[in-house]
Amino acid sequence: MTRVRRALGAWGEHVAEAYLAGRGLSIIDRNWRCREGEIDLVAADGGTVVFCEVKTRRGSTFGTGLDAVAGRKAARLRRLAMLWLAAHARDEAAEIRFDVISVTPRPGNGPGIDHARGVF
């Protein structure tokens, strides 16, 4: 991954984190990694643990960030969520939700943010 793509992704995650915090969610974890992969953001929305995948795109030529999270990517995020819950001694029966946030830079207008709650 190039330095530019990494920087764009980090910027998008920062924007998404601020967006969630601005809507009253508490950020519990950022870029949690294990052998299976990474969860971008973990937040608390009241009593619900929210696992959030952040996709940052420079444009929609190759689809939106929301389009990029389906099938195998969604299944992997579910597996990662179970591993996160186990590692953090949280009850797997606790209410959880999977969100996707798509961030697109819009120079002069602030970032474009699309937030899909409970996508799978």
Per domain, the residue ranges of the chain are: 3-116
12 Cβ contact partners less than 8 Å away, ≥ 6 residues apart:
54, 55, 56, 103, 111
For residue 70 the two structure tokens come to: 């389906």
Does the domain at 3-116 match CATH 3.40.1350.10? Answer given as: yes
How large is the average pLDDT for residues 13-22?
A: 98
Q: Could you read off the pLDDT of 91-113 as tens digits, one per residue?
A: 656 799 999 999 999 888 889 99
End-to-end, the C-alpha distance of the chain in Å comes to 28
Q: What is the pLDDT of residues 25-66, one digit of tens each?
A: 999 999 999 999 999 999 999 999 999 999 998 766 666 666
